[in-house]
Structures are given as structure tokens and as C-alpha cells.
């Protein structure tokens, strides 16, 4: 059996189309949430804030790139589609999870999402902005710094947006500690994996 390898240009095209498809799906879900809020799964869960924050999260890298990165970035010669895909997926997966009511029907779903989505978000941020020649230790530190900070900001946003006025307030402290821990661990794992991937290429 002859092993075949996919040319780099083909892999790049696939990643580009995957990132664009993820963005299209995200904005389609956001649009349906505006048109049919009762079917969105985010009604009563800071839906207005999500409708503002999620597009920003998905567009922050393209906006940065076209305003600044394409002329001054030393990290990439072309737009970093892998990073863009990684930075878009967390927002899309979260919306899908809410749309199909997975957060409220599967007991472990929220915990898994805090771990997985923070891993994706951190991997995207480091792929886009962190130097490739960082040591394993520095990569882990940057991942922890970004991931833990993002997790704290998310939990603060959740509290201000809807937790303080909901029935979840009674258990919010324990839940927040768990979410922060899982998000931070996901970020750390992403940093270590990214280091190994970069080292092997």
C-alpha cells in the first residue's frame, strides 16, 4: 500500500474553506436567534450580549489582520486560516450546544465545553500571535496567561449578564470555580499540544 500525502496548498485550501464555513454557520445561527429567539436556545442566557460578543470573537483576527497584521506581522506571510478556524469554532460550538439544548439536558456538557472550547480558543490565539520559537515552558505560561484571563473575563460576563438574577446564583460559586479550573486546564493542554505540533514541523 502506497502512502499518500496531501499537498500543503490543498491542506491550506481545506482549512480556509472550513474556517469560512464555520463563520457562515455561526452568523446563520446568530441571524436565526434574532428572527426566532424562542428557538435559539440562548433566550434568557444573556442573548443580547452573545449576539454582540460572538461576532466580535469570530472577526477579531480578520479585523486585526487587515488593519495591522498583513503589513507588520512577522509571524505569517499569509492570513493564518488555521488560527482563524480555531478562534471561530468555540463560538459556533457554544451556539450549537445551546440550540440543541445540550447544556441543560446533558449533565457533563457544560464542563466538557469549558475544557474543550478554552483549548480551541487558546490554541487559536497562540497560533495567531505567539512566536514559533518559544520553549515548552514559555508556551505553557503564555497559554495559561491567556486561557486563565479569558476564563475570568467570561465568568465575570456571565455573572453580570444573567447569573446574578437567576436561580443559578445559589450554586454559582462552586460552578464558577469548576469552570475556571477546566478552562485553565484546557488552555494548558492546548499550549503543550501546540508546542509539540510546531516542534514536529
Tell me the C-alpha to C-alpha distance, in Å, between residue 110 and each of 106, 116, 176, 191, 195: 8, 10, 11, 22, 27
Residues 15, 85 contacting (CB under 8 angstroms): yes
Look at 191 and 71; give whichever has higher pLDDT: 191
Give the pLDDT mean for 93-111.
95
pLDDT 10s digits, 25-58: 999 999 999 999 998 899 888 889 999 999 999 9
Check residue 78 and give its pLDDT.
84
Q: Is the pLDDT of residue 75 over 80?
A: no
Confidence of residue 73 (pLDDT cuts 50, 70, 90): low
Q: Which residue ranges make up each domain of the chain?
A: 8-200
Concatenating the DSSP letter of every residue in 99-154 gives HTTHHHHSTTHHHHHHHHHHHHHHHHHHHHHS-TT--HHHHHHHHHHHHHHHHHHH
Q: Let me know how long the chain is.
A: 201
CB atoms within 10 A of CB 81: 21
- Helices 109-129 and 172-200: crossing angle in degrees, nearest 10, is 40
Amino acid at each position: 500500500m502506497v502512502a499518500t500525502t496531501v499537498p500543503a496548498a490543498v491542506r491550506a485550501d481545506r482549512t480556509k474553506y472550513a474556517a469560512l464555513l464555520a463563520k457562515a454557520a455561526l452568523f446563520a445561527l446568530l441571524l436565526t436567534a434574532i428572527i426566532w429567539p424562542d428557538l435559539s436556545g440562548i433566550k434568557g442566557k444573556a442573548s443580547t450580549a452573545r449576539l454582540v460578543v460572538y461576532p466580535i470573537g469570530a472577526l477579531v483576527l480578520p479585523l486585526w489582520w487587515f488593519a495591522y497584521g498583513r503589513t507588520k506581522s512577522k509571524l505569517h506571510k499569509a492570513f493564518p486560516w488555521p488560527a482563524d478556524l480555531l478562534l471561530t469554532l468555540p463560538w459556533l460550538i457554544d451556539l450549537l450546544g445551546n440550540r440543541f439544548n445540550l447544556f441543560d439536558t446533558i449533565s457533563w456538557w457544560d464542563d466538557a465545553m469549558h475544557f474543550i472550547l478554552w483549548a480551541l480558543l487558546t490554541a487559536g490565539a497562540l497560533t495567531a500571535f505567539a512566536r514559533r520559537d518559544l520553549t515548552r515552558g514559555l508556551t505553557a505560561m503564555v497559554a495559561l496567561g491567556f486561557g486563565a484571563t479569558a476564563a475570568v473575563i467570561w465568568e465575570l460576563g456571565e455573572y453580570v449578564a444573567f447569573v446574578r438574577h437567576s436561580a443559578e446564583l445559589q450554586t454559582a460559586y462552586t460552578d464558577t470555580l469548576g469552570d475556571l479550573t477546566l478552562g485553565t486546564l484546557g488552555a494548558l493542554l492546548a499550549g503543550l499540544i501546540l508546542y509539540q505540533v510546531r516542534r514536529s514541523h
